[in-house]
Amino acid sequence: MTSSAKGKKNIAPRCSLYYISSCGELTNSTDFEKENTSLKEFIGITKALADSNRVRALMALRGGELCACQLIELLGLAPSTVSKHMSVLKQAGLVLSRKTERWMYYRLPLENENLKMVGDVIKLVFTLLNTDNTVSLDRANLKKITKQNPSSLCKIQRGK
């Protein structure tokens, strides 16, 4: 029963939603929402991994935290493009970031900082791509890049 008169409350009947699962079981709506959340999380992760530059950045971070300028140097992309790629990875929970003064740093989440699915996917990506040629070349280039001073890299990238 509802009323538009002032001072009266809308009274709606309380009900529970149930769904019939694919195997014919009656499922509570909260169970369905949990499954749906996992599916959304999985779709977000797979979309984030659908770009080779994002996967390369993720693989580069397995050695530890990197400055955005180091990722820019490794990927050979414009700073705004790398920033967008890292934002997509961060949104999916695959990387974490911190800003110190004008420097942006990225790293992989620790096990207690992410959902189980994220950790499992990161492990799977590392296992599957460990011997990939591009990843091996990136690993060698990253050794050279990390020997350089990040502030010097940033100055070079900004043309100063």
What CATH number is associated with residue 91? Answer: 1.10.10.10
Which amino acid, 16?
Answer: S
Q: Is residue 45 part of a domain?
A: no
Q: How confident is the model at residue 130 (pLDDT cuts 50, 70, 90)?
A: very high
Mean pLDDT of 106-125: 86
pLDDT at 153: 80
The backbone torsions φ and ψ at residue 106, rounded to the nearest 5 degrees and listed phi first, read -125, 150
pLDDT, tens digit (0-9, with 9 covering 90-100), for 49-101: 999 999 999 999 999 999 999 999 999 999 999 999 999 999 999 999 999 98
Q: Is residue 9 part of a domain?
A: no
Residues 6+ apart with CB under 8 A from 74: 56, 57, 60, 138, 141, 142, 145
Helix (DSSP H) and strand (DSSP E) numbers for the chain? 7, 5
Q: Is residue 2 part of a domain?
A: no
Domain count, the chain: 1
Residues 6+ apart with CB under 8 A from 26: 18, 19, 20
Please state the length of the chain: 160
Q: Is the pLDDT of residue 29 over 70?
A: no
Q: Is residue 104 part of a domain?
A: yes
Q: Is residue 107 part of a domain?
A: yes
Closest CA to 125 of 35, 41, 54: 54
Q: Is residue 109 part of a domain?
A: yes
Q: Is residue 34 part of a domain?
A: no
80: tokens are 């705004």
Measured distance CA(57)–CA(47) in Å, rounded: 15
pTM: 0.74
Domain hosting 104: range is: 51-157
CB 95 within 8 A of CB 86: yes
Q: Is residue 77 part of a domain?
A: yes
Q: Is the pLDDT of residue 114 over 80?
A: no
CB 29 within 8 A of CB 17: yes
